[in-house]
A = this chain, B = another copy of it.
């Protein structure tokens, strides 16, 4: 279980990728909050690519940026190691999924197409070289809904995918998600633990709320089953989403307000939960006990001072954390000048100091929009002088699971590298050739020796 902390929040407009379409966008009263940075790592030699996400409205995800830094830190550590993968340099691409299925699939398509160009029926129209670099592993996504969609695609190409935060039980279905693995447990356990908490406190009348997606629905279903077995009653049973209209939020808040159940169990993500909490704050409904699943228990969207009257006292679940030696220094060393090729660092800097760097791509974009003024910054500001969730490394949970995920892939490669002919995992106990290896070979070796991280 995890305590709630208050984090500083920033908001800023950002550019909108031109879709080259004349279709009118349906105007929503509640613009989507697409702020979760999740990412993939593409391992091939020496290439580093960052693909940032441009959406209509978003808020920078400072915690997500820390997870991204954990990924880079792990890769650099491995690349500098003289024992793990010596003489091999891992390359990678990091894509921002914007916490949306469509952005994540777009990114996935852009690299799986290269992996299996021959299966795309393009022979008639394209002349391709034989040496297209292929993706051998993917780390991510964070949210289960995004991970399931991506896993459907990656499974086709036998590309191992290791998530550091997707806990939906659906992802344990090996018939559907053939090459999905993760460094965290399935929600089956969390739902049982939630029911145990309810049982322990002898609460017998609760409200159940869940995200209407592949994370929330199976989570709350399992919780309901557990409650049934314990003969505890669920009064209301509600689904929520960040895309809910105002009147839907109002109706939901009415039902909760009118319910005599004072305990509300919520299996939801931060973005999905935020509109409801906002409405509870507006109505000043402070006499409820919230039971939070891990996704919103430590979300910086919810852990805000202005929401404290409502969410203080929440019983939240959290992932097992771990220590990453020297990570603190690495986080503090972030600087736009040192990481000039990393668009995420520039974005982070501008959001942290509420400024624009010189040659800021976003400044240029915002000139066309109606944004508030921001001063210039030099890129040499002192990062330790500000309070930001990015530098909160008191409890490394997801960051630690990212770190473990990257290491489990490196360990698989190490197994391939050090394989002794006659003792390998392939046909007739042969070994794979690390210079010509394919994703499915890495998949076979992933998690075979790493003790910290077991696939669930």
Contacts and interface: CB of A to CB of B under 8 A. Distances in A.
Interface in A227-276: 228, 237, 241, 243
Contact of A128 (B32, B111, B126, B221): B126
Given A23-B444, A176-B101, A243-B175, A122 B127 contact: no
A129 B121 contact: no
Interface stretch (A152-160, A332-340, A364-372, A390-398): A152-160
Contacts of A120: 109-110, 113-114, 120
A106 B156 contact: yes
B427 A101 contact: no
Given A22-B427, A217-B217, A114 B106 contact: no
Nearest to A176: B101
A183 B334 CA distance: 54
Interface string A434-450: 00000010001000000
A132 interface: yes
A156 B125 CA distance: 22
A121 B113 contact: yes
A295 B243 CA distance: 30
Interface in A52-110: 101-102, 105-106, 109-110
A117 interface: yes
Nearest to A238: B225
Copies of this chain per assembly: 2
B126 A121 contact: no
A127 B132 CA distance: 13
Contact of A440 (B21, B175, B221): B21
A426 to B, nearest CB: 5
Nearest to A218: B217
Nearest to A93: B121
B128 A132 contact: no
A412 to B, nearest CB: 15
Contacts of A178: 102
Nearest to A21: B440
A221 B217 contact: yes
Contacts of A106: 119, 156
Contacts of A22: 426-427
Contact of A113 (B113, B175, B225): B113
A318 interface: no
Nearest to A237: B225
Interface of A: 21-23, 26, 32, 101-102, 105-106, 109-111, 113-114, 117, 119-122, 125-129, 131-132, 149, 152-153, 155-156, 158, 173-176, 178, 212, 217-218, 221, 224-225, 228, 237, 241, 243, 426-427, 440, 444
Given A22-B426, A113-B120, 13 more contacts: A21-B158, A102-B155, A102-B176, A102-B178, A105-B152, A105-B153, A105-B156, A109-B119, A122-B126, A125-B128, A125-B131, A173-B212, A175-B243
Closest 7 CB pairs of A and B: A113-B120, A126-B128, A22-B427, A127-B127, A126-B126, A110-B121, A125-B132
10 contacts: A23-B444, A102-B156, A105-B156, A106-B119, A109-B119, A109-B120, A113-B121, A113-B122, A125-B131, A125-B132
